[in-house]
Amino acid sequence: MVERVRRLFLLASAACLVACGSGSIGPERDINDPGNSLVFAYVDMSEAPTKIDGASLKPQGEPGYWHMNVAKDGQLLSQPYLPPGSYQMASLEGSGFFAGNNVYSFPTYGRNQTAVRIQKPGIYFMGAYRYAKVKTGMFEAGKFAIERVNSPSEVELLQRLQKEDWVKGTQWEARLRNRIAELGRK
């Protein structure tokens, strides 16, 4: 009897691993794959109830989401594994002691201002934005807007990305350096 329960438990565990495996978070890619693109953005959350703890990109016409790295400042977002395709910001997530958990969802239809199209491997800047609270009625759910801003610049953010731990020892060290030099010549 004990052996039968043990086998049943192992079978159920194996089924869970298959059903909930790492494939559910998207395809696994090597960070040094030369076909990868780096997409990054900045969102000033100083007027928001929380800083950013998580962010995701939605690929156009494909199921699933790509999760973004969030820098320690809770404002600089990056995703260094993207294959060619069209992407846009899908959500920002944050939490705070008094604010609780917040999910800032972007419209799932159409194209929002963060949209980017990757046709060949490279580094793509989605832009710098500022969180803005939208006034609502007393019994309405909270709303927000994301407004484009000019600062920090692409170069400033690339320099900050160079200091991120995930960059060290990867292809992105040289590619970020080259992109900064390219922008300096313009």
Class at the top of the CATH hierarchy for domain 34-150:
mainly beta
Show me where the domains of the chain are located. Answer: 34-150
pLDDT digit of tens for each residue in the chain (186 aa)?
Answer: 545 544 444 444 444 433 443 333 445 789 999 999 999 999 998 887 778 889 999 998 888 899 999 998 889 999 999 999 999 998 888 877 666 777 778 876 667 788 899 999 999 999 999 988 777 666 766 667 788 999 999 999 999 999 999 999 999 999 999 999 999 887
Q: What is the C-alpha separation between 123 and 25, in angstroms, rounded?
A: 22
Torsion angles phi and psi, residue 113, rounded to 5: -70, -10
pLDDT at residue 81 in the model: 95
Q: Are 40 and 57 in contact (CB under 8 A)?
A: no
pLDDT at residue 94 in the model: 82
pLDDT at residue 145 in the model: 77
pLDDT at residue 118 in the model: 96
